[in-house]
Structure 1
Amino acid sequence: MCLDRSDGIARAADASPPVVGWDAVRSLVIDVGLADPEDSSVNCLLETLRVARDLQEDGEEPTVALVTGGPDAVGAGRSIAAQIEAIRDAHAVDSAIIVTDSAEDERFVPVIESRLSVDSVDRVVVRQARDIESTYYLLKQFLGDEELRQTTLVPLGLALIVFPILLATMGPVVAVASLTAVFGLFLLYKGLGVDVYVSTVPAGVRDALYSGQVSVVTYVVGAGLALIGVFAGLLGVSGLESQEGVFEPAMRFVFDSVPWLAMAALAASTGRLLDEAIHDEPLPTAALNLPFGVIALGLIVRGFAAYFLQRSGVIDHSAVPPVDVGVVSVEAFVLSPLQRLAVFVVAGVVVSLVGVRAAARFAGAPEPAEATD
């Protein structure tokens, strides 16, 4: 008796269970094999026929049958029980040899045992599993790919070499932490596509130099200004009298570095804008608005950093000197932290609005279509 809990064999061959008889089961093998040659149920049916043939050679008269279940456990159990009772009444059988192809099918053997005496359970195991074979060929293909070897095996080999050295010199905690950090950086490097971007940088720089783009020079200037900004921020943090906590040193770093970082971004965006103008191409709105956006963002970020530092007493209050212009005379006064923040925010918004206005005025617009007669 071939036991199929899922009813996949009967549905594949469009047969109504139970299927009883040597010829009926043998014909079922062809139908199931043509429907899905990779299905292990074909081997289960063939094993059922083989066991019946061996019993015939021993002088017995076995009955070959297929019983199937259903999609859910309760329905499958009831369906198998009804088919067993029908086979028992029609063919006068009192014992069975169960043939299955999975442990899931064997869970329903007790249903058969409650109605027939089960002599044995024969589980079919396919000798050559496709997953194992596919894994072998995938590993062989992987080891034959030079790029995959360099990006996977080389870092793994270096990690296995460095880990015992760190373990012997610095202890297990430092070794594990260092190795985990390196693997994390490597995964981010590959996952974010940084390697692809880095590989295209030399070709892009070479093409830019040959084509005479101004942005190459401005990008170098921007990188230098950015380094100055980082250095200025670190100097500001090192000059703090008290460096307890993280927030205050971070705000000091932002306050000192933002002007330089904004100038770096301004230099880079200006170079791109000049390239567009030199090549007589319509100036895109984004390229025109970017310098103003950089200045506005720098003003607002520096204003918020100054607010926190002024409230904590790290920097002095901002004093406005006296102004005397004709009949207008303004005495000197000191800005509170909130007033100072408001000035920076308003200045940033004004610069941003000026950028939007300038982009709308000077951006390249499509030429009007010529009128046709």
Structure 2
Amino acid sequence: MEKRKTLVLSVDRDDDIGYKARIESPILGREACLEAAKRLGLADPEDSDVNAIFQAVKTYDELSARGEDVIVSVIGGSHMNMLEGDRKIADSLSQLINQTNVTACILVSDGAEDDFILPIVQSRIPVESVKRVIVAQMPNLEGTYYIIKKLLDDPKTARVVLVPIGLAMLLYSAAYLWGRPDLATFFVVGAVGVYLLFKGFGIDEFFGYLLSGLQQSFQKGSFSFVAYITAVLISIIAVIMGLTSLLVYYPQDAGVLLFFAAFIYGSVWWFVSAGIVGIAGKIIDCILHEQEMLSRIVIIPFFIGAIGTIIYGASSYLLSISNVPDFPISAGGGVQTIIIHTVAGLLCALIGIYIQSATGKWVIDGKKSRKW
């Protein structure tokens, strides 16, 4: 029977140990964990992760005293990006398991994010127990104020809480300065609503990935950096053209559907161009440096073109049958337009699939020839 080897694990999901104490994780061993707890405690004595690390070391000592084969470790995630942090935790844990050959785990945490951490750990190793460290303190008004103050000092919480409040106050002041106090509530509610939708649908993370990719391409000196900047500028033009189209083709009180149709009619080709330019830069980088990824990326501009073509046809059809003044396409022409553009979009997608298949074969043949 194989002897059990237990891992006592403390997970710092927001990587305070790296962000505040400047310690790279994973941290392995009793002395290394104690040193990490001491440095984090000196950097921020009020951080609950300090107590979690000490609890992990205490659990390690108790199990070692009973003669069990046990090791202790601390793993950190990411302070600013939870998705990347969770992936880092999973990778670090897999690396730790392969390195130490542990067969079971005791998870120690401060109880704040167990619902996120526990499934990640369980996907890699059986969890025999979860120990939560809750620091006892007197719940009074001063303590509540102190907790709120600490939350607002954290950059992650500040971005979520302070940004919508600050934006609402700024728009409210701007409406009064503009001499239109009647629009103040409209601006504030609309801006906060858009912000909440961005957070709810994770669009802010999408833009975060775009900024991260832009930064990485700049640091590597990649051609895609120039392409991304160009795509951003074209996207700004797309928004301007969409708003111009709204002024020309959107009748007052015509409804939300025609509002979006008018905006898309004027902006869709600019957005398509921005997407194709950005992806073209990535394709050039793949050809030069990462040919194995080329077959997965080469299809994207064709799909962007296909979707843009179909959406343009649909918006043209909606505007043509809505009796919009001065719209260049008649109702009969709108039916023809949507049919032609739908067929063209589908053909564009099929061409992209064919080129992706041919590119995949080319990459495979190139690898074989290099081996020979």
TM-score tier by shorter-chain length is 0.3 to 0.5
Structure (1/2) with the larger helix percentage? 2
Q: Computing the radius of gyration over CA atoms, which structure comes out larger, 1 or 2?
A: 1
